[in-house]
């Protein structure tokens, strides 16, 4: 599909993340006004809340945009999602008669503050990157036992914390936790020394499932509203001591950062691809009836305080072994009900080469092979480093961008227990 032309000039710039083909959904505010829903177009935001208020945009009997999240729109369902995208495309297309009443509701992104685009109901993180699982398994258990025996059969996951999910640009302090090196006799309580990132996609569930009722992969795909970039910040030293036998807990609970705009499933449709060939057949309930992944190019940048950024990894979401639809279907096999606003992390996305790995743990191979950045070397994150994930699906003369997913790790607070 080629670039769709808009009367918003900046949306036709080949460098923009937000051409008319994209139309991602966010929440913004101006000055002291309350946050409300908006749609990114070029370097502007269309204030759909004002459009609804003035009677130009009506999706339901009740108002859905004058809210600090897109959850009300998600709850309306697929027909309304398609209706909204069709109307927005009509409003903003080059030559649209609607320009006269739409243009007064455009706001410069430079003047807006962004907020969490949706209210996270619950958060589940998966482990669908094969290279990542192989690398971590090799480091922790040896090359012979790299992939756990269940990995090729089950989309492995754990239930995370919705309260840990924060918006891009929100800085936070290095966490404290229980640490125990293999040769130490006892654990200590100290700031994490091996603090890390995980490059992931987040899938947003826009429609609920019924308690006790599993959904198919096709039904699961239809339930997904859109995607964000997701950084699952991870304290490797806390993780190594705590994870057996129940998996990650405090190592993953400090923060999970998401990018600010929900890129809709509809915008990503031209970029659908199949998951990789299966080494062993999947059980029937997990088989994909059609392409359910998206080809999104991804990168990681690291910037020390006062320094310049170095891109340390480039990879693609084509590396994922399971799609979000497969993960969501598997999530419901027990009868577990899914909710509007649930967030699913894909798992760390790593390519086969060192410069395509999705975590510092892998790039530095557990700290044994520090890597060079502009102005220094790194094995793990140092205080005041800013880590940024970027992603885009590339079309003919345009790209569908996500906006940056960024955060700075501030020094650990003084001992929080003062002991
Ligand atoms: Ca993860």
Q: pLDDT per residue over 221-248, tens digit each?
A: 999 999 999 999 999 999 999 998 999 9
Query: How close is the Cα of 288 to the center of ligand 1, in Å?
Result: 23
Pair 221, 269 in one domain: yes
Pair 257, 376 in one domain: yes
Angle at 17 between CA 120 and CA 29, to 5 degrees: 50
Assess if residue 356 is contained within a domain. yes
- Which residue range forms the structural domain that includes residue 228? 123-410
For range 273-277, the mean pLDDT: 96
Count the neighbouring beta carbons within 10 Å of the beta carbon of residue 97. 9
For residue 415, what pLDDT is reported?
84
Query: How close is the Cα of 372 to the center of ligand 1, in Å?
Result: 24
For residue 1, what pLDDT is reported?
83
Query: How close is the Cα of 402 to the center of ligand 1, in Å?
Result: 19
Pair 207, 281 in one domain: yes
Q: Please count the CA atoms within 13 angstroms of the CA of 7 that sit on its side-chain side.
A: 18
d(CA 217, CA 212): 16
Per-residue pLDDT at 274 exceeds 80: yes
CB within 8 Å of 155: residues ≥ 6 apart: 126, 127, 128, 286, 322, 326, 327, 330
Query: How close is the Cα of 151 to the center of ligand 1, in Å?
Result: 15
What average pLDDT does the chain have?
97
Among the candidates 86, 115, 144, a domain finishes at: 115
**In 3D, which of 293, 109, 254 has the Cα closest to residue 173?**
254
For residue 417, name the pLDDT band (cuts at 50, 70, 90).
Answer: confident
Query: How close is the Cα of 108 to the center of ligand 1, in Å?
Result: 34
Pair 93, 76 in one domain: yes
Among the candidates 94, 115, 136, a domain finishes at: 115
Q: Name the DSSP class of 145.
A: G
Pair 159, 306 in one domain: yes
For residue 44, name the pLDDT band (cuts at 50, 70, 90).
Answer: very high
Per-residue pLDDT at 418 exceeds 80: no
d(CA 64, CA 56): 13
For residue 419, what pLDDT is reported?
63
Assess if residue 418 is contained within a domain. no
Strands 113-115 and 25-29: antiparallel
Pair 154, 233 in one domain: yes
Residue tagged active-site, from 54, 105, 115, 132? 132
Pair 161, 102 in one domain: no
Q: Please count the CA atoms within 13 angstroms of the CA of 412 that sit on its side-chain side.
A: 18
Query: How close is the Cα of 60 to the center of ligand 1, in Å?
Result: 37
Per-residue pLDDT at 395 exceeds 80: yes
**In 3D, which of 25, 37, 26, 41 has the Cα closest to residue 398?**
41
Surrounding ion ligand 1 within 5 Å at CB are 125, 198, 232
Q: Positive or negative CA dihedral for 306, 308, 313, 317?
A: positive
The answer to whether the CB of 298 falls within 8 A of the CB of 317 is: yes
Angle at 202 between CA 170 and CA 373, to 5 degrees: 55
Query: How close is the Cα of 63 to the center of ligand 1, in Å?
Result: 36
pLDDT single digits (tens) 103-136? 999 999 999 999 999 999 999 999 999 999 999 9
Assess if residue 204 is contained within a domain. yes
Assess if residue 3 is contained within a domain. no
Query: How close is the Cα of 126 to the center of ligand 1, in Å?
Result: 6
Active site residue 132: yes
Helix ranges (H only) for 96-163 are: 99-102, 130-141
d(CA 228, CA 246): 27
Q: Name the DSSP class of 211.
A: T
Q: Residue 185 belongs to a domain with what CATH number? A: 3.90.850.10
Q: In 35-128, where do the E strands start and end?
A: 36-41, 44-46, 106-108, 113-115, 123-126
Strands 224-232 and 256-258: antiparallel
Pair 264, 343 in one domain: yes
**The total number of residues written for the chain in this structure:** 419
Among the candidates 91, 115, 139, a domain finishes at: 115
Assess if residue 2 is contained within a domain. no
Q: In 9-55, where do the E strands start and end?
A: 25-29, 36-41, 44-46
Query: How close is the Cα of 396 to the center of ligand 1, in Å?
Result: 32
For range 13-33, the mean pLDDT: 97
- Give, in order, the Cα–Cα distances in Å from 192 to each of 98, 359, 409: 54, 16, 12
Q: Residue 61 belongs to a domain with what CATH number? A: 2.30.30.230
Q: Name the DSSP class of 264.
A: E
For residue 373, what pLDDT is reported?
98
Per-residue pLDDT at 141 exceeds 90: no
Pair 285, 369 in one domain: yes
Query: How close is the Cα of 180 to the center of ligand 1, in Å?
Result: 21
For residue 348, what pLDDT is reported?
98
d(CA 68, CA 239): 34
Pair 137, 81 in one domain: no
Pair 41, 168 in one domain: no
Pair 172, 102 in one domain: no
pLDDT single digits (tens) 143-195? 998 999 999 999 999 999 999 999 999 999 999 999 999 899 999 999 999 99
Query: How close is the Cα of 134 to the center of ligand 1, in Å?
Result: 14
Assess if residue 174 is contained within a domain. yes
Query: How close is the Cα of 371 to the center of ligand 1, in Å?
Result: 22
**Token pair for residue 352?**
């086969």
For residue 297, what pLDDT is reported?
98
Q: What is the dihedral of CA 65, 125, 271, 293, to 10 degrees?
A: -130
- Give, in order, the Cα–Cα distances in Å from 47 to each of 6, 22, 357: 16, 16, 38
Query: How close is the Cα of 410 to the center of ligand 1, in Å?
Result: 21
Q: In total, how many domains does the chain have?
A: 2
Assess if residue 34 is contained within a domain. yes
**Token pair for residue 195?**
């603090």
Assess if residue 415 is contained within a domain. no
Q: Name the DSSP class of 23.
A: -
End-to-end CA distance of the chain: 61
């Amino acid at each position: 599909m080629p670039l769709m032309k808009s009367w918003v000039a900046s949306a036709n710039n080949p460098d923009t993340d937000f051409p008319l083909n994209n139309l991602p959904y966010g929440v913004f505010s101006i000055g002291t006004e309350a946050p409300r829903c908006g749609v990114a177009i070029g370097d502007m935001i269309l204030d759909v809340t004002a459009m609804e208020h003035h009677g130009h945009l009506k999706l339901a009997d009740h108002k859905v945009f004058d809210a600090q999240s897109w959850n009300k729109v998600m709850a309306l369902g697929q027909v309304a999602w398609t209706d909204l995208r069709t109307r927005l495309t009509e409003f903003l297309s080059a030559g649209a008669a609607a320009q006269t009443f739409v243009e007064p509701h455009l706001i410069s992104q430079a003047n807006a503050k962004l907020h969490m685009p949706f209210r996270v109901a619950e958060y589940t993180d998966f482990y669908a990157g094969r290279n990542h699982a192989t690398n971590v398994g090799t480091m922790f258990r040896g090359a012979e036992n790299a992939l756990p025996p269940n990995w090729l059969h089950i989309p492995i996951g754990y239930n995370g914390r919705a309260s840990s999910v924060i918006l891009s640009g929100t800085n936070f302090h290095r966490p404290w936790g229980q640490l125990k090196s293999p040769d130490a006799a006892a654990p200590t309580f100290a700031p994490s020394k091996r603090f890390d990132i995980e490059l992931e996609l987040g899938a947003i569930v826009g429609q609920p499932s019924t308690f006790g009722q599993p959904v198919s992969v096709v039904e699961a795909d239809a339930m997904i509203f859109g995607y964000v970039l997701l950084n699952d910040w991870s304290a490797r030293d806390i993780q190594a001591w705590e994870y057996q036998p129940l998996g990650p807990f405090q190592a993953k609970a400090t923060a999970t950062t998401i990018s600010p705009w929900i890129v809709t499933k509809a915008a990503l449709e031209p970029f659908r691809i199949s998951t990789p060939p299966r080494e062993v057949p999947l059980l029937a309930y997990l088989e994909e009836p059609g392409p359910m992944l998206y080809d999104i190019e991804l990168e990681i940048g690291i910037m020390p305080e006062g320094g310049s950024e170095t891109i340390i990894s480039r990879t693609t979401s084509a590396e994922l072994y399971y799609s979000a639809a497969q993960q969501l279907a598997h999530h419901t096999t027990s009868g577990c009900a899914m909710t509007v606003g649930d967030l699913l992390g894909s798992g760390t996305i790593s390519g086969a080469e060192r410069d395509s790995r999705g975590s510092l743990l892998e790039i530095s191979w557990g700290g044994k092979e520090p890597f060079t950045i502009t102005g220094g070397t790194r094995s793990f994150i140092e205080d005041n480093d800013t880590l940024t994930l970027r992603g885009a699906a590339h079309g003919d003369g345009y790209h569908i961008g996500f906006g940056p997913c960024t955060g700075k790790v501030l020094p650990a607070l003084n001992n929080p227990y003062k002991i």
